[in-house]
């Protein structure tokens, strides 16, 4: 438990601010447990109600997790926490989730021939060519994309849709494990995650059925699920759609963050009978994270609400970026490169999975850029791999109720590298507590 000397104040707001400042300064670390309410109240000379109110403020701001059994802890990816340092020199970074730079298209060539004009306030929000391309891509995957918005990345789209429809305290069904960015958004909006376990085919139908009671929304990743790589086949989607039909009012959000390089076909849960829905498709993995752009399809009311809120804040996503993305998507050379990138990622993903199986290690990675490896002790395995020259991501920030694991990004991992990594994973698990395939 952290030392109380970093916490000060006589009101709930001041106490909360002191804790947030200590987190930002690195004096309080992610995962640290805050003092019990009674102990901190005695230390500060305030009432227990004041400390409880401070802890509620921190939870509403997405800084802490409240658990009756484990107390109040700083979130593993708390918004105020400083960014983790890069891996030491000589350590291979397999933790960042980035695509392979060598498999991204050449932006310079497209920028040179891009013809854009100055846009003024009051002009259209979206580039017509990009909207046309978006509708074509969505409809090819069975998504009824009549209304389209352009947003600044997948998480921006998810957050905007949640903000328009939900209120603090509402319950949101999520995959478990789930992408940490989604969990962070829920925490920041004071929404309550309701975990549903996943296997390699996505959410488990029986668990989804139990989770539906009292929920207001669901966020699902049909392919390249982060971190497990799950991808929904049509058979699983049919079962999930049958369950979702019992709640046509439930807000359905689909996150297609990997898009064209997911390595699996897109299978949507959206049906015309659903009142509120959105599908967000990012270009970060196929075209490059710095483009900061995603396409958002949804029901007319949801898209209109998102665009109204955009006019209050960012107003629009830069038409320069929109024109560049439209140019990339319609270029045949880029289309061929995306196919090659998807195949390359699949080869690298399968190489690691095969190498791990050869050591008797259970792992998951049906699609996408990551492989999920259950382990007995995340911290010990991470440290062992770091000493062996590999930086991978701890599973803690992705988990709600599921067991410990590590996430490995395979985007730049060659088959030869995969064999070496698998051997080092096997050594670390053998030494620190192992979870083997049956």
> What is the chain's mean pLDDT, rounded?
91
Residue 88: its pLDDT value, please?
87
pLDDT of residue 437: 42
Instruction: List, for residues 31-46, the tens digit of each pLDDT value.
Output: 788 888 998 999 999 9
User: Does the domain made of 115-330 have the CATH classification 3.40.640.10?
Assistant: yes
Share of residues in the chain with pLDDT > 70 (%): 94
Q: Where are the domains of the chain?
A: 4-74, 92-102+334-432, 115-330
Indicate the class that CATH gives domain 4-74. Answer: mainly alpha
**pLDDT score at 228:** 98
**CATH of span 92-102+334-432:** 3.90.1150.10
Average pLDDT over residues 294-304: 97
The pLDDT of residue 24 is 80
What would the pLDDT profile of 9-66 be if each residue is shown by its tens digit?
999 988 988 988 888 888 888 778 888 899 899 999 999 999 999 988 887 777 887 6
Pairs from 188-195 (Cβ < 8 Å, separation ≥ 24): 188/61, 188/62, 188/79, 189/62, 189/159, 189/162, 189/163, 190/59, 190/60, 190/62, 191/162, 191/166, 191/217, 193/400, 195/400, 195/401, 195/402
pLDDT of residue 67: 61
What is the band of 85 on the pLDDT scale with cuts at 50, 70, 90?
A: confident
For residue 344, the model assigns a pLDDT of 98
Q: pLDDT tens digits for 86-128?
A: 888 889 999 989 999 999 999 998 888 888 888 878 778 899 9
Q: What is the pLDDT of residues 211-252, one digit of tens each?
A: 999 999 999 999 999 999 999 999 999 999 999 999 999 999
Q: Tell me how crowded residue 413 is: count the other CB atoms within 10 A of its CB.
A: 24
CA distances from 251 to 158, 180, 281, 305 (A): 11, 20, 17, 14
């Amino acid at each position: 438990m952290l030392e109380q000397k970093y916490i000060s104040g006589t009101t709930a707001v001041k106490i909360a601010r002191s804790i947030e400042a200590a987190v930002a300064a690195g004096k309080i670390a992610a995962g640290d447990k805050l003092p019990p309410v009674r102990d901190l109240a005695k230390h500060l000379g305030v009432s227990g109600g004041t400390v409880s109110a401070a802890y509620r403020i921190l939870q509403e701001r997405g800084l802490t997790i409240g658990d009756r059994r484990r107390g109040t802890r700083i979130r593993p990816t708390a918004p105020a926490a400083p960014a983790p340092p890069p891996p030491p020199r000589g350590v291979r970074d397999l933790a960042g989730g980035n695509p392979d730079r060598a498999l991204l298209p050449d932006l310079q060539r497209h920028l040179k021939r891009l013809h854009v004009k100055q846009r003024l306030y009051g002009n259209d929000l979206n580039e017509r060519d990009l909207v046309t391309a978006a509708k074509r891509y969505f409809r090819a995957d069975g998504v009824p994309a009549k209304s389209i918005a352009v947003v600044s990345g997948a998480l921006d789209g998810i957050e905007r849709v949640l903000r328009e429809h939900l209120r603090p305290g509402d319950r949101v069904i999520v995959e478990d494990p789930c992408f940490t960015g989604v969990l962070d958004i829920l925490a920041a909006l004071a929404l309550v995650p309701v975990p549903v376990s996943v296997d390699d085919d996505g959410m488990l139908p029986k668990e989804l059925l139990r989770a539906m009671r009292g929920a207001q929304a669901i966020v699902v990743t049909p392919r390249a699920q982060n971190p497990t790589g799950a991808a929904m086949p049509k058979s699983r989607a049919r079962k999930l759609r049958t369950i979702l039909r019992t709640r046509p009012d439930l807000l359905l959000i689909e996150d297609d963050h990997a898009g064209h390089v997911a390595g699996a076909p897109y299978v949507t849960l959206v049906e015309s009978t659903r009142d509120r829905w959105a599908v967000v498709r990012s270009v970060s993995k196929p075209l490059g994270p710095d483009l900061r752009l995603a396409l958002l399809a949804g029901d007319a009311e949801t898209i209109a609400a998102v665009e109204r809120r955009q006019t209050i804040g960012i107003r629009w996503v830069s038409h320069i970026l929109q024109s560049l993305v439209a140019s990339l998507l319609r270029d045949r050379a880029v289309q061929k490169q995306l196919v090659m990138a998807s195949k390359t990622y699949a080869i690298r993903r399968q190489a690691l999975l095969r190498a791990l199986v050869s050591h008797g290690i259970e792992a998951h990675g049906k699609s996408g850029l990551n492989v999920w490896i259950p382990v007995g002790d995340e911290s010990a395995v991470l440290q062992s791999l770091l000493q062996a020259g590999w930086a991978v991501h701890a599973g803690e920030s992705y988990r709600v109720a599921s067991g410990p694991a590590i996430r490995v990004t395979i985007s730049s991992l060659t088959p030869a590298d995969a064999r070496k990594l698998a051997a080092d994973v096997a050594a670390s698990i053998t030494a620190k507590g192992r979870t083997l395939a049956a």
